[in-house]
């Protein structure tokens, strides 16, 4: 069964545009998946820890046969290949990939919550999600 996952991309370390581009390419090559829409790229203030560079953020709509758990595993592998190290919550990162929504599915596992619990607190995600859903 195919579903549409909305994946947020963010980066505030190094060449932020290149980080997003590599993440989009990696997402487009996931098995049983294809990128069907992309929001514009937006620069935002950091969430949580203000003493770090601004982020570039973007959201993509990914049509996929993967389950939410499988998609999470692929996203974490993409982050690791790009050098992502998880040291400080909401600290600097390159890149950061989050499942924001996944069709009409809900997941409430300790390490995976869909819809993403931070969606109400991130106006840029709300704008990007609205743009993608309105454009389909």
Q: Which residues are catalytic?
A: 84, 93, 96, 98
- DSSP structural state of residue 116: -
Q: Where are any strands of DSSP class E within 1-136? A: 3-11, 33-38, 42-44, 55-64, 96-102, 107-109, 112-114
DSSP assignment of 19-57, as one string?
HHHHHHHHHHTSTTEEEEEEPPPEEEPPSS--SSPPEEE
Whole-angstrom distance, CA of residue 87 vs CA of residue 71 = 22
Q: Which of 87-117 are b and which e, b meaning 16 or more Cβ less than 10 Å from the residue's Cβ?
A: eeeeebbbbbbbbbbbeeeeeeeeeeebbbe
């Amino acid at each position: 069964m195919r579903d549409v996952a909305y994946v947020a991309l963010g980066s505030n370390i190094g060449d932020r545009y290149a980080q997003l581009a590599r993440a989009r390419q990696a997402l487009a090559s996931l098995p049983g998946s294809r990128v069907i829409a992309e929001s514009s790229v937006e620069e935002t203030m950091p969430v949580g820890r203000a003493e770090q560079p601004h982020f570039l953020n973007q959201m993509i709509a990914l049509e996929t046969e993967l389950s939410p758990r499988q998609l999470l595993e692929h996203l974490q592998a993409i982050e690791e290949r790009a050098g992502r190290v998880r040291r400080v919550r909401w600290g600097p990162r390159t890149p950061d990939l989050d499942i924001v929504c996944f069709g009409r599915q809900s997941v409430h596992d300790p390490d995976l919550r869909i819809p993403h619990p931070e969606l109400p607190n991130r106006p840029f995600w709300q704008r990007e999600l609205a743009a993608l859903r309105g454009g389909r």
